[in-house]
Amino acid sequence: MDQTLMPGTILRDRYKIIELVGQGGMGAIYKAEDLRLAGRYCAIKEVRPEPRASSSMLAQAREQFYREASTLARLDHPNLPKVSDYFSEGDYDYLVMDFVPGRELKEIMDEARRQDRFLDEKEVLTWADQLCQALEYLHGQDPPVLHRDIKPSNIRLTPAGAVKLVDFGLVKLLVPDDTRTITVLQGRGTVQYTPLEQYGGDTGHTDARSDIYSLGATLYHLLTGQPPPDAKQRFLEPGSLPSPRSLNPNLSFQTERALLRAVEMHPDQRPGSVAEFRAELLSQSSAVPGLLSLSAADERMWATALRENRTLITIALTLLVVALVVTLFSRPLPTTPPAVTPPPGQVEGIASPSPGPR
């Protein structure tokens, strides 16, 4: 069994472990005190090697860890924790980041569900805007950086009202023509938020659209209170994804359309970039809600609705036609005006001559 670090343990003669924050199959995250900078607290991610890995694989894994960690250390964005240090002790590698105070969005969402209410759409979209900015920044690096584990429990709302994508547990560098399969910081995403192409691990082809799926699934969960069915289930059972408005009728049509497009099964049917998704989700339109121009996702949604309700639509149209026919043929026929009786002494159509003088 993997042993976690005990409170009071000091790493690298600098970081004093305070408590275990989270733990998974690939490692653990601790809250620690920086003994060199009084009053500073940090989060330390402990990355454990693959079980039964050969010595050559371990060497490759460590090399990959240092390459990725050095990339993360160069990142600087208000919605991402700052990576300040990285090192190895024994078989384990460690990544040191700012400790982000606040609550996980999962905690906030679970609390709302216990109170039988939905999170406010406007507030969630404010969070979405910040997350989109963070992902645009990551994807805009050279080479681009993918997160690959976006979910409510990996997002913290700070006391100042900002959200931060706190866990780099599945970050991946997109290096052209690099076909090596090395799992270091990478792992397996949480199934409800993982696109189908990511199930192959590093052997699957993932790009920015994979993060878009995870972000869309995360927002779907926050706004409806229910996680979307996992991608494997959706592949085996087409149509198993409930529309967001069927779960939360208060959602806007625009938000629903953007979410459904973000979680399309095939990457080509999703927005091509986070900027495109952000525009679809957050742009204001002067058109009447529900009468906006149809996108490809809209057309698919309407086609599905028509197929599923074909019988009801047929009955409704039939009743409409019958009602029109009954209305037309039940109108009263025009009546003939009553005959006018001519006055005495007048033949119909001929004036009677006036009597002459006698």
- Pick from 100-104, 208-212, 293-297: least confident: 293-297
Domain termination residue (choose one: 53, 68, 99): 99
28 with 126, same domain: the answer is no
113 with 152, same domain: the answer is yes
Residues 250-278 have a mean pLDDT of 96
Sheet holding 155-157, edge to edge: 103-104, 155-157, 163-165
43 with 60, same domain: the answer is yes
Residues 119-142 have a mean pLDDT of 96
Residue at 202: amino acid letter? D
| Domain-located, residue 339 | no
Percent of the chain with pLDDT over 70: 76
* Sequence-ordered strand ranges (E) for 203-329: none
Q: How many domains is the chain partitioned into structurally?
A: 2
Q: How much is the pLDDT for 191?
A: 84
For residue 316, pLDDT over 70 is answered with yes
Instruction: Reply yes or no on whether 120 is catalytic.
Output: no
41 with 182, same domain: the answer is no
Q: How much is the pLDDT for 49?
A: 82
Which residue among 149, 178, 268, 298 is the active-site one? 149
87 with 178, same domain: the answer is no
Q: How much is the pLDDT for 78?
A: 95
Residues 233-261 have a mean pLDDT of 95
Q: How much is the pLDDT for 306?
A: 62
For residue 201, pLDDT over 80 is answered with no
For residue 321, pLDDT over 60 is answered with yes
Residues 8-22 have a mean pLDDT of 94
Q: How much is the pLDDT for 264?
A: 96
Confidence of residue 173 (pLDDT cuts 50, 70, 90): very low
Q: How much is the pLDDT for 283?
A: 87
Q: How much is the pLDDT for 318?
A: 81
For residue 275, pLDDT over 90 is answered with yes
For residue 233, pLDDT over 80 is answered with yes
70 with 108, same domain: the answer is no
| Domain-located, residue 343 | no
231 with 167, same domain: the answer is yes
| Domain-located, residue 353 | no
For residue 344, pLDDT over 70 is answered with no
| Domain-located, residue 354 | no
Residues 219-235 have a mean pLDDT of 94
Q: What CATH number corresponds to the domain at position 128? A: 1.10.510.10
Domain that holds residue 8: 1-99
41 with 56, same domain: the answer is yes
For residue 12, pLDDT over 50 is answered with yes
Residues 239-248 have a mean pLDDT of 96
6 with 106, same domain: the answer is no
260 with 218, same domain: the answer is yes
- Pick from 86-90, 154-158, 310-314: least confident: 310-314
Q: Is residue 58 within 8 Å of residue 91, measured between CB atoms? A: yes
- Name residue 16's beta-bridge partners: 10, 33
138 with 9, same domain: the answer is no
For residue 114, pLDDT over 80 is answered with yes
Q: At what angle do helices 253-262 and 208-224 cross, to 10 degrees?
A: 140
| Domain-located, residue 342 | no
Higher pLDDT pick, 193 / 292: 193
Q: How much is the pLDDT for 111?
A: 97
Q: How much is the pLDDT for 172?
A: 52
- Percentage helix, strand, coil for the chain under 3-state DSSP, each rounded to 5: 40, 15, 45
Higher pLDDT pick, 28 / 244: 244
Domain termination residue (choose one: 288, 303, 318): 318
Of the candidates 141, 142, 175, 165, the residue with the CA atom closest to the CA atom of residue 215: 165
Percent of the chain with pLDDT over 90: 52
Q: How much is the pLDDT for 335?
A: 58
Residues 11-17 have a mean pLDDT of 96
| Domain-located, residue 85 | yes
Structure tokens at 69: 């960690």
Pairing of strands 83-89, 41-47: unpaired
Q: Which residue has the tokens 């250390």?
A: 73
- 62-97 pLDDT, tens per residue? 888 898 888 889 999 999 999 999 999 988 999 999
For residue 205, pLDDT over 70 is answered with yes
Count of residues for the chain? 358
Q: What CATH number corresponds to the domain at position 44? A: 3.30.200.20
Q: How much is the pLDDT for 297?
A: 44
Q: How far apart are CA 257 and CA 245, in angstroms?
A: 10
Residues 261-274 have a mean pLDDT of 96
Q: Is residue 145 within 8 Å of residue 98, measured between CB atoms? A: no
235 with 309, same domain: the answer is yes
| Domain-located, residue 334 | no
Domain termination residue (choose one: 74, 99, 124): 99
| Domain-located, residue 357 | no
Q: Is residue 172 within 8 Å of residue 145, measured between CB atoms? A: yes
Structure tokens at 294: 């149809």
For residue 293, pLDDT over 70 is answered with no
